[in-house]
Chain A
C-alpha cells in the first residue's frame, strides 16, 4: 500500500526596514515592524487560519487517518505571538487533533548549517525547546532551511537526536532511482532520508492554478490517480504552507482540492503517514549528496542564497561576527544577529535572472537585490559597532 507523506513549511522572516547609511549608530530599529505585522496578519488570514481549520476538520473526519507534518520556524512563531495570537492558537488546535507531526529546524530559518556548526546546533536546540513549549511535542525528524542538505549534515543532525531528514529528490542525487522510498544517509547509516517527489509536489505548489499546464484543472481524484500510479512505496510531498490560500489563492479552488484529497486518496487505497513513521522503514539504499542541494529553482543548489558577490559578501561578514557575539553574551545583540541569519535576507539579494524579471523578487520587500544588500550591510555595520567590533568591509 502506497503511503502519502504530506509536509508543509511555515515560515516568515523578520524583514528589515530600509535602513540607511546615516541610520548607523542612531539606535534605529532594524526591522520593519509595520510590514512584518501586516504581512503576517494577511498570511494568517488568507492561509494559516483557513488551512489549519480545514486540516483539523479533515483529521477529525477521518478519525486521524489523514495525517500531515508541519514545521514552523521560530521567527514565524514569534511573529504570531506578537501580531496574530489567534493564528498561533489555531496551529495549537490543529496539533491537538493528534494528526500533525512537527519537525525540527533552525530556529531562525538560517544558513548556519553551511557556515557555523556551533550556531547551527544552538539554533536547532532552541527551536526544539520552542516547539516543545508551544505544542508539547518533541520533533524527531529534521528539515533544514529550504531543504538544504549535503552529506556532512547527517552526522551533525544525528548527534542532535533526529532520526530522519527531509531532502530534495534531485535528479542528480537519485541518479535514476526513485524518490518514492526511504533511504539511508551516506555518512550516517542510522539516519533516514526522505526525498521530496518534486514533480508531484510542484504540481500542487507551483502549477495548480496554471491554466497553460496540461494538468489544469487539477482535481483531487485526478491527483490521487497520479499519487497511486507507479511502484514506489511512499510519496513525499513537501510544500510551502502558503501554497494554501497565499501562493494559490482561495479562488483557484485550492481549499476545495485539499478538502477532497483524503477521500480521493482513500478510495484508491492510499494511506497517509508521518515522516517519523517512514523513518522506521528499512532503507532501500543510500543517498550521497556531495554538495549542498536545496528545493529551490531548476538548479536545486544554494545559488538562490549564495550565488553572487553581494550575497557571499553579506553572508561571510555576517558569520564572521557570530563567535564574538556568542562570547559577548549580550542577548539583545545576539538576537538581532540571529534574525539577520534568516536565509530570506540573502535570498532578496539574488540576481539570478534578475534581468528577466524572475520569481525571486516577488517575495522581496526591496525594489532590487541591490537595495536589499544596502539595507542589510548598513544594519550589519551598526550591529558591529554595537558589539565594538571593527570588521571592515
Chain B
C-alpha cells in the first residue's frame, strides 16, 4: 500500500483514515505493507504502537525520506505536533518545481520496494502515490487499485495544478479499480477525469471507537460552565470554510448573546480571520486555539455544544464522525461525503449563512435539540456501517475484484 502519511506524523483526516483502513484490513485478514513518502524522524515503532498489540507482526511500514507535504501550506489540526518535530510550518508552496521532482524520486524508490516486497495487489492513495503504484504494477504485474480521497478540484475549487490534475487523471483511468470515499467524489472522478463509473467502488470511511467506550460527559469550558459554544475544527484554509464559520458566528452572537466560538486549527487564512474577528467585534468571543492534537482535540469536542463543518469542498469529512463520537452535535455541509452516510446531523448548504445561523443558534438555544442530536448521533456512529471493519471488508472485496480482473502475469512475488 502506498500511503502518504501515518500517525503520529499526520496533517489531516487522511492520516486517521489510513490508520483506520490499515487496522481494519489487518482485522479482516489482509496483510499490509505500507510505503509512506515522508521524511521519518520518529521510529516506525511509534507509528505502529497506534495500531494495536498484535499489529507489528503483520504490518510493515517503509518510510522514504522526502519533504513531501500533501497539504502544502495547509496545516492540519495536528500542526502543533508537526512543528514540534521541526518540520517546516512555513508558507512553502506545494506546487513548486521541487515537488514534482520529489514525487519522481518517491516513485522510483517506491517501485524498487515494490519489486522487493511480496504482494498480491497494489493500493495507491491519492495522486502523490499513483505513479508509484503504476511503477509497482509494471514491476510485479499485480493489479493496481487507485484509492482516491480528494482531487485537485476539492483542494483548489477549480482545475488546480495541471500537473497534479494530469497525474490524477492518469492514475485513476489507468488503475484496475478505483475506490472513492463518497458518491460525490466518484461523480467528480467520472465527470472531470472520464473514469469509467463501473470501475469505481464507493467506500465511505469508518471511525475507530465505539460510543459505549466514550463517556458523554462534557468538558469544562474556560468561559464559564453554562456558556454555549460552537466549534470549528479543521485546517484554516478556504476549502474548509473557516471564514464562513466566522461570519456565521457574528450572526449567532447577536441571537445568542452568551455564545462563544472556538476555532481550532491553523492554516493560511488564520491571520486574516483573527483580524476579521476583531473587526466583527468578536475579539473576546472567538477563540483561536491554533492546531490541536490528541487529548486537546477530544477536549475541544466535549467543550462544544455544536461542531460546524462548513466546508466548501469536503470529499469525506471525518471531523463530523469524530464530533458525534464525542457526543457533540454536528452541522455539516450538505455536499460533504459524510453527509451521504450520516443521518443524525444537521445538513446545510455551505453558502447559506442564514440557514447555518438558524441551525446553530437553535442548537445553542434549545437543550432538547442539542441532547437529541448528541444522543442519536453518538448511537448512529456506533452502528456497524461506521466501524473500521466495514470499509476494510469492502476494500478487501475490491482487492478481490481487482485481482480477478487482472490475473497474475507471472512477475515477481
Residues of A near any B CB (own CB < 8 A): 18, 20-22, 308-310, 312-313, 351, 354-355, 357, 367-368, 370-371, 373-374, 377-378, 393
> Contacting chain A: which of B107-115, B213-221, B261-269, B369-377?
B369-377
Assuming the A-B contacts A20-B354, A393-B365, are A354 and B347 also in contact, with contact meaning beta carbons closer than 8 angstroms in the complex?
no
Cβ of B103 within 8 Å of any chain A Cβ, yes or no, is no
Residues of B near any A CB (own CB < 8 A): 255, 343-344, 346-347, 354-355, 357-359, 361-362, 365-369, 371-373, 375-376, 379-380, 383
With A and B bound together, what is the CA distance between A67 and B346 in angstroms? 47
Cβ of A21 and Cβ of B357 under 8 Å apart? Answer: yes
Cβ of B354 and Cβ of A22 under 8 Å apart? Answer: yes
Cβ of B373 and Cβ of A370 under 8 Å apart? Answer: yes
Partner of A309, one of B346, B357, B368: B368
Additional A-B contacts beyond A310-B366, A373-B366 (5; CB < 8 A) = A21-B361, A351-B344, A355-B380, A370-B369, A374-B366
Task: Tell me, rounded to whole Å, the shortest Cβ–Cβ distance linking B160 to chain A.
Answer: 31
3 A-B pairs with the lowest CB-CB distances in the bound complex, closest first:
A313-B368, A309-B368, A20-B358
Among A308, A312, A354, A370, residue most surrounded by chain B Cβ atoms (within 10 Å): A370
CB-CB under 8 A from A370, the residues of chain B are: 346, 359, 369, 372-373
Assuming the A-B contacts A355-B343, A355-B383, A368-B347, are A21 and B369 also in contact, with contact meaning beta carbons closer than 8 angstroms in the complex?
no
Can you identify 29 A-B contacts, CB atoms within 8 angstroms? Answer: A18-B355, A20-B354, A20-B357, A21-B255, A21-B358, A21-B361, A21-B365, A308-B372, A309-B371, A310-B366, A310-B369, A310-B372, A313-B366, A313-B368, A351-B376, A355-B343, A355-B344, A355-B380, A368-B346, A368-B347, A371-B346, A371-B359, A373-B362, A374-B358, A374-B369, A377-B366, A377-B369, A378-B358, A378-B362
With A and B bound together, what is the CA distance between A299 and B355 in angstroms? 35
CB-CB under 8 A from B358, the residues of chain A are: 20-22, 374, 378
With A and B bound together, what is the CA distance between A393 and B380 in angstroms? 27
Partner of B368, one of A21, A310, A354, A368: A310
With A and B bound together, what is the CA distance between A368 and B372 in angstroms? 12
Partner of B343, one of A22, A309, A354, A378: A354
CB-CB under 8 A from B343, the residues of chain A are: 354-355, 357, 368
Cβ of A393 and Cβ of B366 under 8 Å apart? Answer: yes
Cβ of B362 and Cβ of A374 under 8 Å apart? Answer: yes
CB-CB under 8 A from A378, the residues of chain B are: 358, 362
With A and B bound together, what is the CA distance between A43 and B376 in angstroms? 34
With A and B bound together, what is the CA distance between A374 and B347 in angstroms? 13
Cβ of B255 and Cβ of A22 under 8 Å apart? Answer: yes
Task: Tell me, rounded to whole Å, the shortest Cβ–Cβ distance linking B113 to chain A.
Answer: 43
CB-CB under 8 A from B380, the residues of chain A are: 355
CB-CB under 8 A from A355, the residues of chain B are: 343-344, 376, 379-380, 383
With A and B bound together, what is the CA distance between A309 and B371 in angstroms? 8
- The residue in chain A whose Cβ has the minimal distance to the Cβ of B360 is A21
With A and B bound together, what is the CA distance between A309 and B344 in angstroms? 14
Task: Tell me, rounded to whole Å, the shortest Cβ–Cβ distance linking A2 to chain B.
Answer: 45
Cβ of A393 and Cβ of B354 under 8 Å apart? Answer: no
- The residue in chain B whose Cβ has the minimal distance to the Cβ of A20 is B358
- The residue in chain A whose Cβ has the minimal distance to the Cβ of B346 is A370
Task: Tell me, rounded to whole Å, the shortest Cβ–Cβ distance linking A351 to chain B.
Answer: 5
CB-CB under 8 A from B371, the residues of chain A are: 309
Cβ of B347 and Cβ of A377 under 8 Å apart? Answer: no
Task: Tell me, rounded to whole Å, the shortest Cβ–Cβ distance linking A345 to chain B.
Answer: 15
Task: Tell me, rounded to whole Å, the shortest Cβ–Cβ distance linking A16 to chain B.
Answer: 13
With A and B bound together, what is the CA distance between A388 and B366 in angstroms? 20
Among B362, B366, B376, B380, residue most surrounded by chain A Cβ atoms (within 10 Å): B366
Cβ of A377 and Cβ of B362 under 8 Å apart? Answer: yes
Task: Tell me, rounded to whole Å, the shortest Cβ–Cβ distance linking B311 to chain A.
Answer: 18
CB-CB under 8 A from B369, the residues of chain A are: 309-310, 313, 370, 373-374, 377
- The residue in chain B whose Cβ has the minimal distance to the Cβ of A369 is B372
Among B372, B375, B379, B380, residue most surrounded by chain A Cβ atoms (within 10 Å): B372
CB-CB under 8 A from B361, the residues of chain A are: 21
CB-CB under 8 A from B375, the residues of chain A are: 309
CB-CB under 8 A from B359, the residues of chain A are: 370-371, 374
- The residue in chain A whose Cβ has the minimal distance to the Cβ of B375 is A309
With A and B bound together, what is the CA distance between A138 and B229 in angstroms? 56
With A and B bound together, what is the CA distance between A374 and B348 in angstroms? 13
- The residue in chain A whose Cβ has the minimal distance to the Cβ of B331 is A370
With A and B bound together, what is the CA distance between A21 and B356 in angstroms? 11
Task: Tell me, rounded to whole Å, the shortest Cβ–Cβ distance linking B374 to chain A.
Answer: 10
With A and B bound together, what is the CA distance between A378 and B366 in angstroms? 11
Partner of B362, one of A21, A312, A351, A367: A21
- The residue in chain A whose Cβ has the minimal distance to the Cβ of B367 is A393
Task: Tell me, rounded to whole Å, the shortest Cβ–Cβ distance linking A382 to chain B.
Answer: 13
With A and B bound together, what is the CA distance between A18 and B349 in angstroms? 14
With A and B bound together, what is the CA distance between A377 and B355 in angstroms? 15
With A and B bound together, what is the CA distance between A313 and B369 in angstroms? 9
With A and B bound together, what is the CA distance between A378 and B365 in angstroms? 11
With A and B bound together, what is the CA distance between A351 and B373 in angstroms? 10
Among A18, A309, A351, residue most surrounded by chain B Cβ atoms (within 10 Å): A309
CB-CB under 8 A from A312, the residues of chain B are: 368
With A and B bound together, what is the CA distance between A308 and B372 in angstroms? 7
Task: Tell me, rounded to whole Å, the shortest Cβ–Cβ distance linking B345 to chain A.
Answer: 8
Partner of A354, one of B255, B344, B362, B367: B344
Task: Tell me, rounded to whole Å, the shortest Cβ–Cβ distance linking A174 to chain B.
Answer: 33
Task: Tell me, rounded to whole Å, the shortest Cβ–Cβ distance linking A317 to chain B.
Answer: 10
Partner of B376, one of A21, A313, A354, A377: A354
- The residue in chain B whose Cβ has the minimal distance to the Cβ of A352 is B376
Task: Tell me, rounded to whole Å, the shortest Cβ–Cβ distance linking B357 to chain A.
Answer: 7
